[in-house]
Amino acid sequence: MIKMRTVIVVCIAMFFPLLAQAEINKVNIKKVEQDLYQASDGSYIQTSNCFVDANGSDAVLKFEKYACNNNLRFNAQTICEVIDVVK
Is 16 part of a structural domain of the chain?
A: no
pLDDT at residue number 14: 54
Alpha-carbon distance of 43 to 18, in angstroms, equals 26
In a domain, 7, yes or no: no
| Per-residue pLDDT reduced to its tens digit, 4-56 | 667 665 555 555 554 556 789 999 999 999 999 999 999 999 999 999 999 99
Report yes or no on 6 lying in a domain.
no
pLDDT tens-digit map of 60-69: 999 998 888 9
Q: pTM surpassing 0.85?
A: no
CA-based nearest residue to 27, from 52, 65, 61, 54: 61
Task: Provide the residue range defining the domain that includes 42.
Answer: 21-86
Integer Cα distance of 25 and 59 in angstroms? 8
Counting the structural domains of the chain, the total is 1
What span, in angstroms and rounded, lies between the C-alpha atoms of 36 and 49? 10
